[in-house]
Amino acid sequence: AQSVTQPDIHITVSEGASLELRCNYSYGATPYLFWYVQSPGQGLQLLLKYFSGDTLVQGIKGFEAEFKRSQSSFNLRKPSVHWSDAAEYFCAVGAHYGQNFVFGPGTRLSVLP
Amino acid sequence: DTAVSQTPKYLVTQMGNDKSIKCEQNLGHDTMYWYKQDSKKFLKIMFSYNNKELIINETVPNRFSPKSPDKAHLNLHINSLELGDSAVYFCASRTELNTEAFFGQGTRLTVV
């Protein structure tokens, strides 16, 4: 079965600073990996996804993530954070069609002006 | 057009009542899910249906019963509501051609 860990419960950065959110997964085969963002009181919006190919994937809102098989990681990055990026970020792993779609516990991002 | 829609958005009810949350997707997806998000924001899968057939049924009290009348709908019925059922419930859908899950806006259930 898949599992996902996000080691950081809460991260605070200053506006304009760079950001990296960590995600580690456990899955026996090649995973499909995702990052979602949830703004307060909102649903989940997909930021980016990795299925295969280039291990560096670009997403919306200036985010990118890098898949590292050797480290079982899929860390999310942004070079310059904006105040509107303050939200809850979830890493998720999906396997084959119809099977479990598992989320990590989430990382709450706060942005200082 | 809303891709995955849930109703109601807010639901406040007393302990012991029975309530339902409805979910509809217009994406033509074959798989639908229900997730529960607790106060710590943890998203836990409850059920998954594929073509109206139950695929995943996690450890959930049998007071929770999903119903899928057709591929586009997955409703969640909850009997004898308890205080601990208070949470945000998300519906999602997915297909083999497009493997990310699309989420509804959530239903905030408050049991008093």
Dihedral angle, C-alpha A7, A67, A25, B27, nearest 10 ° = 110
Task: Return the pLDDT at B98.
Answer: 56
Which H or E run includes A111?
strand A107-112
Q: What angle do CA B26, B30, B33 make, to 5 degrees?
A: 85
Q: What is the pLDDT of residues B25-42, one digit of tens each?
A: 999 998 899 999 999 899
Burial A25-62 (b: 16+ CB within 10 A, else e): bebeeebbbbbbbbeeeebbebbbbbeeeeeebebeee
Task: Return the pLDDT at A86.
Answer: 97
Average pLDDT over residues A10-31: 92
Residues of A in contact with B42 (CB under 8 A): 103, 105-106
Residues of B in contact with A42 (CB under 8 A): 105-106
Beta strands in A15-106 (DSSP E): 19-21, 24-26, 32-38, 45-50, 56-58, 64-68, 73-78, 87-94, 101-103
Chain B: give the shortest CA distance to residue A3, in Å.
Answer: 12
The answer to whether A91 touches A6, Cβ cutoff 8 Å, is yes
Task: Return the pLDDT at A99.
Answer: 65
